[in-house]
Amino acid sequence: MKIITPIKQVPETSNVKMDEETGTMVREGVESIINPLDLYAIEAAIGIKEEHGGEVIAITMGPPSAEKAIREAIAMGCDDGILLSGREFAGSDTWATSYALSRCIEDIGEYDLVFCGLQATDGDTAQVGPGIASFLDLPLATYVSSVEEVHIAEESSYTEPDENSIIVERLLEEGYEKLRLPLPALLTVVKEINFPRLPTLSGKRKAREVDIEPKNSEHIEMNKDNLGLQGSPTRVVNIDRPKVTRSGKMIAATEESKQEAAVEELLEYLKGIEML
Domains of the chain: residue spans and CATH: 2-226 (3.40.50.620)
- Enumerate the β-bridge partners of residue 61: 84
**Using 50, 70 and 90 to split pLDDT, how confident is the model at 60?**
very high
Structure pTM? 0.79
- 17-56 confidence digits (pLDDT tens): 666 565 566 655 667 889 999 999 999 999 999 999 999 9
* Range with the poorest average pLDDT among 60-74, 193-207, 223-237: 223-237
Residues 141 and 170 sit within 8 Å (Cβ to Cβ): yes
The answer to whether 229 touches 92, Cβ cutoff 8 Å, is: yes
> What mean pLDDT do residues 66-93 have?
93
Of residues 240 and 8, more confidence is placed in: 8
Give dist(CA 54, CA 35) in Å, integer: 24
pLDDT at position 102 is 96
Burial (CB count within 10 angstroms: exposed 0-12, middle 13-18, buried 19+), residue 214: middle
Distance, CA of 186 to chain centre: 14
Minimum mean pLDDT among 99-113, 134-148, 247-261: which range? Answer: 247-261
pLDDT, tens digit, 9 for 90 and up, residues 176-187: 999 999 999 999
Percentage with pLDDT > 70 across the chain: 89
Nearest to 194 by CA among 151, 147, 150: 147
Residue 14 backbone phi and psi in degrees, to 5: -75, -10
Q: At what angle do helices 67-76 and 36-52 cross, to 10 degrees?
A: 40
Band of the pLDDT at 230, cuts 50, 70, 90? confident
Q: Is 7 within 8 Å of 59 (Cβ atoms)?
A: yes
Q: Identify the band that residue 159 occupies on the pLDDT scale cut at 50, 70 and 90.
A: very low
Maximum Cα–Cα distance across the chain: 85
**241 vs 269, which has greater pLDDT?**
269
Buried b (16+ CB within 10 A) or exposed e, 101-137: bbbbbeeeeebbbbbbbbbbbbbeebbbbbbbbbbbe
Average pLDDT, the chain: 87
Phi, psi of 57 (to 5 degrees): -115, 120
pLDDT at residue 161 tops 70: no
